[in-house]
Amino acid sequence: MAEKYIISYENAEVRNFLKGSMHFWGISQDVGWGCTNHWADVMLVQYMLSAAWFEAGLTCDGIFGPKTAAAIKSWQKAYGPALKADGKIDAVNGSNLRSSVSKTIYTMLALNEEFVKYMSTKYDNIKTDPKLPPELRSELTIRGGSGGSLKYRGVQTMVN
């Protein structure tokens, strides 16, 4: 499930990378060949790629296929050597900026960073973007309010 993850106060590295933001938009499962590819996760990736990188040319349909794989890999290459250009987007595991396996920046965090650059007025609540597919708008979880907090994969998530 695609959702907004709250970054813990202690995690200055990720907050600084995201230009001071206290959250990021994330996926619950990896997106790529051989992955589960939950449609909402795929659609969030397609939407963010299309919004942050105009060359993506993707249809936000929630279906992972050759066009989405090529767009991810092409964007990863264009971003530079800080990303592993494998056509896959891993769900952020823990509160680290970099993957413990590849030692590269999580592509999902880099995609958020690009989104902040190009869509800063929509970043806090992407549900306000009229270009967000309606199916994703109704599925996207934005947690917050007066509730407590819950650790999810090492990233603090607010719950009502």
Within the chain, residue ranges assigned H as helices are: 12-17, 39-52, 66-79, 107-118, 120-123, 134-139
All residues at 6 or more sequence positions from 46 whose CB lies less than 8 Å from its CB, including other chains:
56, 58, 59, 60, 61, 62, 68, 71
Q: Which residues of 9-20 are buried (b: 16+ CB within 10 A; e: fewer)?
A: eebeebbebbee
Domain segments of the chain as ranges? 3-158
CB neighbour class for 100 (10 Å; exposed up to 12, middle 13-18, buried from 19): exposed
pLDDT confidence of residue 147:
35
Cα Rg of the chain, angstroms: 14
pLDDT confidence of residue 8:
78
Question: Model pTM?
Answer: 0.85
- DSSP assignment of 79-90: H-TTS--SS-BP
Mean pLDDT of the chain: 84
| pLDDT tens profile 51-79 | 887 676 789 999 999 999 999 999 999 99
